[in-house]
Every structure is written in structure tokens, then in C-alpha cells.
Structure 1
Amino acid sequence: MLKKVSEEYKKKGRHILFSVVFLVLGFMLAFSYKTLGGNKDIERVTSDSFIQEERYREDLIEQKERNKELSEEIGVKQEGIRSYETSFSTNEKAHVDLVEEAKDLRLLLGEIPAIGQGIIVTLSDAEYDPIEHNPNDYIVHESHIFKVINELRISGAQGISINGQRITASSFIKCTGPVITVDGMTFPEPFVIEAIGESDVLDAALNLRGGVIDGLVLDNIVVTTEKSKNLKLAALGD
């Protein structure tokens, strides 16, 4: 009887032990699953973050490359603009130079009025005794006028007139006794020559020692000069 009871206790003890063992194993399996599953979730989250970061990095690199290309393109266009501006400036300057040259030519041809500072040169016959002297030695001849005109042109005069008659490179000047004829117009003395240009330069050129005015004085011509800040020469035909 005691032996039978003892065997029953042993069976129950084994059942309890197995139950405890299974319970522990179940707990361990559950804990392991949870732990492994959590790690997988963490790994998945980490993997997704890495992929997203890589995409951002690639996008950033691509954007930097695009910015570089745009910067280079802008540089090329800016250089083109600078070249155009330089070319335009050069052409504009050339155009201005041509306009000024054309204006100077028109002034010399007498096609347009000449206005500005300049000088007034007056040539008059000298007094003489017709009994004792040759009157031709005391009157103004075309050669005297040409000396003055040529010196004024050399010195930069932009426009010249004689007694209001505009002078050009083709003007015809002829002395006939006490009068001169300029392009068919007759004028008595005094002969007033007006020239537009740098007044100081024109005056200095005429008054050089041994120059034009000294030569005129030696030829018994009465010469006066006056610098003016505001001269106006009419165009041909005005």
C-alpha cells in the first residue's frame, strides 16, 4: 500500500516538473520570438532610413552637379554679353567718330552753319602817297588773304568766311584793284576774315615770330586780330 502511494507521488512530481519545464520553455520561446521580431523591426526601420538617406545624398549630389552646369552656362552667357557690349561700344564709338568726321567735312564744305569760339582777322589797305609810291604796294591782294586762310586751316579752323561769304576748299578768290571777288561776290576793304576754332591756337599760329602777320606787316598791310567766344558763320546760300 505504501509502495503504491509512493509511486503515485512520483508520477505527480514528474508531471509537475514537466509542466514547469514546458512553462519555462514556452516563456523562453515567447521571449526569444519577441526579441527576434523586435530586432527585425529595428533592422527594417534602420534599413529604410539608410535607403532614404542614400536617396537624399544622391539627390543632393545630382543637384550640385546641375548647379555647377548652370553656373558654367551662366558664365558662358555673361561672357557673350560682355563681348556683345564691347563690340557694341566699339561700333558705337566708330559711329560717333564717323558722325563727327562727317560733320567736320560738312563744316569745311560750308554746308552747315559754324558756331563757336574763334578769331576775327581784319586786313586793310595802308595809307600811301600816289605820287611817290606804287599803290599796289599798299593794298590787300588775294595772296595776302590766302596766307591768312591757309594758316587758319592748318591750325584747325572748322569754318572760315570773308565779309560774311563762306569759304570752301574750292572757293575762288580774285583781287581786282581795291576790291576782291569771292565766288562771284565782290567786296571792298576792309576784308574781315572770321574763323571758327580754338581761338588761342588760331591767334598764336598767326602771331608766330616771322609768321603770317609779320609778313603782312612787311607788305604794308594793316592787320588786326580779335579773339571771340561766340562766332556764327552762315552756310553757303544763306
Structure 2
Amino acid sequence: MIKKTTDEHKKSGKRILFSVVFLVLGFILAFSYRTLGKSGEPGSIKSAAFAQEEQYRESLINQQERNKELSDEIAAKQEKIRKYEQSFSNREEEHAGLVEEAKDLRLLLGVVPAMGQGIRVTLQDADYDPVEQNPNDYIVHESHILRVVNELTISGAQGLAINGQRITSDAYIKCTGPVITVDGRTFPAPFVIEAIGDTDVLSASLHLKGGVIDSLIRDNIIVTTEQVKDLRLSALRNES
């Protein structure tokens, strides 16, 4: 009986010891599980890496959106600058056009000297016998001069002069016998009309068939024309 009791005590002690060991082991496993579950599990590490990747991705998307906004803003400002430049260019062209127009008007008004290529037309009285022929049929009249002047003006002459006297659209030309009066100044024949402009255009306009030159020849006027590369016409207020 005693021996049996001793064996039972030993078995009971082993059970208690195993229980304690299992209890401690369970506690250790539970603690390890909690610890690894929070910071050491592969799934937890993977989740942290994924969260960081998502954060980088979101940051990249935000940066790309910001870059697009900046690109759109730059494009808008460049378009605005282009419009300003175009507007400025248009104003420059308009200003240049006005300056050129003012220059042409000054030339036509004769208030500034005129220089450049042009044409020179000389009108002379024809030979006649004053006993048998009417001298008025062989001398240059103001109507002859006006034909030439008007034709040259229509053809784009930028400046005109008669015997060195600048004339304008309202110039006063009057014939008095063998001489003419231009704005109060008297000039004898021959009468030299000079015009600055495109020499080919001016010459062609005068030599049109049935035009000015032909009409002058029919009126017994001696006409000569000359294209000049370098003409200079004095201004109205600088008649030297």
C-alpha cells in the first residue's frame, strides 16, 4: 500500500510539473504571438510597406497634378504674352503705316524736299511762221502742263516741280503769252516738269497710246522725256 501511494504521488507530481511547463510554454507562446502579431509578423511588415508605397504613390500623383497645373499656367501666360506681342506688332505696323502715309503727304504737300528716282518731261514751243500761222497753236499753254502734271499725279508721283518750283494739288498755273506763272512766279519756255516716283510706271503712263504724249504732239508741242535715277526737288519753303 505504501509503495502504491508513493507511485501515485510521483505521477501526480509529474502531472503538476507538466501542467506548469505547459502553462509557462503557453504563456510564452501567447506573449510571442502578441509581440510578433504587432511588429514581427510578415503580414504586418508587408502591410507597412504597402502603406508606405501608397503614400509615395499619392505623393507622386499630387506632384504630377501640380506639375500639370503649372504647365497649364505657363501655357496660359505664354499665350497672353503671344497676344501682347501680336498686339504690339500690329501697333508697330500700324504706326509704321501712319508714318509712311504722313511722309507721302508731306511730299505731296511739298513741305519737305523730295529725293529719289523719277522722270523729267520737257515741253517746248514748236517752230512756226508768225506771219502765216497762229502762234497760239504752237506754244505751250497751262492746259498742256496740267495734262502732264495730272497724269503723273494719278500714276503715283510723290513730288512734282515745274522749272524747280515745287507744286501741290492746289498750285496755281496760268499761261501769259510765251511764259507761264506758277504760284506767282513766272517761267519762260522750255518748261521742265520733274516727278519723283517709279520711273517705269510714270513713263508708261505718259506714253500710253492715245494718251498725254500723243495729245501734246497733236497740239504741235515738242515733248521729250527722260528717266532720272537721282532727282532732288526743293521744298516749298526752301526754294533755292
The alignment's TM-score, normalised by the length of structure 2, stands at 0.88
Q: Report the 3-state secondary structure (helix = DSSP H, G, I; strand = E; otherwise coil) of the residue aligned with 2:208.
A: coil
Letter aligned with residue 201 of structure 2: V
Per the TM alignment, residue 29 of structure 1 is displaced from its structure 2 partner at its CA by 3.0
Larger deviation, residues 225-234 vs 155-164: 225-234
Q: How many residue pairs align between the two structures?
A: 236
Question: Where do 4+ consecutive residues of structure 1 move more than 6 Å?
Answer: none
**Root mean square deviation of aligned Cα:** 2.1
Alignment partner of 2:193: what SS? Answer: strand
Which range moved further: 214-223 or 11-20? 11-20
Q: Distance in 2 between matches of 1:112 and 1:222?
A: 31
1:189-228 matches, cutoff 5 A: 189-228=189-228
- Counterpart amino acid of residue 189 in structure 2: E
- SS state of the match for residue 87, structure 1? helix
Gaps of 5+ in 2: none
List aligned pairs for 1:119-134, cutoff 5 A: 119-134=119-134
Shift of the alpha carbon at 1:64? 3.5
1:66 aligned partner = 66
3-state DSSP of counterpart to 1:235: coil
Residue matched to 1:77:
77
Q: Distance in 2 between matches of 1:147 and 1:136?
A: 17
SS of the counterpart of 1:38? helix
Secondary structure of 2:95's match? helix
| CA displacement at 1:198 relative to structure 2 | 0.9
**Cα deviation digits, residues 97-151 of structure 1 (max 9, x gap):** 2111111111100011111111111111111122221222211111110000000
Q: Does 1:33 align with 2:26?
A: no
1:94 aligns with 2:67: no
Unmatched tracts of structure 1, length 5 or more: none
Match of 1:183 in 2: 183
SS, match of residue 220 in structure 1: coil
**CA distance in structure 2 between the aligned counterparts of 1:63 and 1:17, rounded to whole angstroms:** 67
The residue type paired with residue 101 of structure 2 is E
> Which amino acid is the alignment partner of residue 68 of structure 1?
K
Is the partner of 1:210 in helix, strand or coil?
coil
TM-score, L = length of structure 1: 0.89
